[in-house]
Amino acid sequence: MVYINDKVYAISHNNAPNAKVVATSLQHPDWANPATIVAENSRWIVRGLSYCKDFLIIVYSNGITGRASTYSFKTKTISTIKLPFPGTVGIQCIDHNSNNCDLHMTSWNKPGTEYNYDAGTGIFTPGSFNKPAVYPAAYNDLELEEVEVKGHDGVMIPLTIIYRKGIKKDGSNVCLMEGYGAYGIGQFPKFDDHLNSLAVRGVVIAITHIRGGGEKGEAWHKGGFKTTKQNTWKDFVSSAEYLIAGGYTSPQRLAGMGTSAGGILISRAVTERPDLFAAAICNVGCANAMRMEFTANGPENMAELGTVKDSVECKALYEMDGVQHVVAGTAYPAVICVGEWNDPRVMPWQPGKFAAVLQNASTSGKPVLLKVNYNSGHFTEDKDVYYADFANQYAFILWQCGHPDFQQKN
């Protein structure tokens, strides 16, 4: 909410899944009949509000990129802000007695950059507080594609693809595809120094915006939720098929990754379609969904995943449980499972059980490893542990997917 003089402005989802901006009197609020300032848009979801002296500022996202607009308190008109580049945008107005704002932008291939923005003139100048990080020249050669992939049921799935300029689409590239798809949390554009450090080595990076996330609003979330959860990993599989068909990679070069609730995604993707992947990372992942509610954090997840005490939801939990779908005698990809000893959200035995059943069942001869970090929780502020952990995960998939810099040498 934003409070300005005698009015309060708010983002409302009342009869508006993609949200609208409404206003009412601060002294005599009437939320049953507020004034609509910005109507709901079928493509753009309202994500944030701020204000300066003469304008309310509205930030939106369509799941792939962001935009922003101003609402003039004086003229009651809405104008689109011409942003410096496509990506995720955030705007803060520190001094409400002027039209000067602090605008931050980032994209998949552009580091976070701050600007001073004058809402009255529309002029951008270099930010006063933080300067953009300077990366090696190779990071300037990262190209970006935003595509849509037809899912198993015809629904179009957004897919972000990042790669080094000049790669050949002949199936020879190592590719790391990452997804999440839960709790309505979206994978919005941001410069990821981890993933882009792989991209400059010639690895194709793919980020899937699958159902269960929030890229396209609450309906997108509910499309991969409890009894519809299978759409989450099926969208991931559809994205993998698109990358292979387009020559970005091949089944011998493709790795998949899921973290936390993304453990459902990756454990079910590799058990349903082991032929599509050379390697996979189950990072602090929920791979045994039927037992999740019996953990310390389990009851909190029942609203998202369901409960075994309900017959319909129990069947859905069985479908999303990777451990339950490992079949003996199957050639599974190489898998590294990561658990954190002090993890209160996903007990380390969740990825541990997945590693164990894969080790006993797989006939591919590829390694299935379990790595346990004993001095961290679900995530950690210890950067030595943090960076070493991801370095191990990435080295594993690059090794298994045949990247020339990560092969054993005699």
Strand partners, 102: 92, 116
| DSSP conformation letters of 86-98 | SSEEEEE-S-TTS
Q: Do 93 and 184 belong together in one domain? A: no
Q: Are 212 and 342 members of one domain?
A: yes
Contact predicate 179/187, CB 8 Å: yes
Query: Whole-model pTM?
Result: 0.94
Range 389-409 average pLDDT: 95
* Domain edge (last residue) among 99, 126, 153: 126
What is the Cβ-side half-sphere exposure of residue 226, based on CA atoms within 13 angstroms?
13
Check whether residue 176 and residue 277 sit in a common domain.
yes
CA separation for the pair 54, 89 (Å, rounded): 20
Give the residue carrying structure tokens 């798809």: 181
The answer to whether residue 182 sits within a structural domain is: yes
């929920």: which residue's tokens? 286
- Let me know whether 164 and 243 are in one domain: yes
Residue 132 included in any domain: no
Q: Give the model confidence (pLDDT) of 82-116 as tens digits.
A: 999 999 999 999 899 999 999 999 999 999 999 99
Residue 195 one-letter amino acid: L
Residue 370 covered by a domain: yes
In the predicted model, is pLDDT for residue 319 greater than 90? yes
What's the CATH code of the domain at 25?
A: 2.130.10.120
Residues 143 and 118 in one domain: no
High-pLDDT (> 70) share of the chain, %: 100
Q: Count how many domains the chain has.
A: 2
CA distance 246 to 210: 19
Determine the pLDDT at residue 64: 87
Domain that holds residue 342: 139-406
Do residues 121 and 228 both lie within one domain?
Answer: no
pLDDT of residue 375: 83
| Structural domain includes residue 83 | yes
pLDDT in tens, 252-271: 999 999 999 999 999 999 99
Q: Are 302 and 371 in contact (CB under 8 A)?
A: no
pLDDT at 15 over 80: yes
Q: Is the pLDDT of residue 224 over 80?
A: yes
In this model, does residue 380 exceed pLDDT 90? Answer: no
Q: What are phi and psi of 195, to 5 degrees?
A: -65, -40
Whole-angstrom distance, CA of residue 151 vs CA of residue 181: 14
**Count of CB atoms within 10 A of residue 390's CB?**
16
Residue 384 has pLDDT above 90, yes or no: no
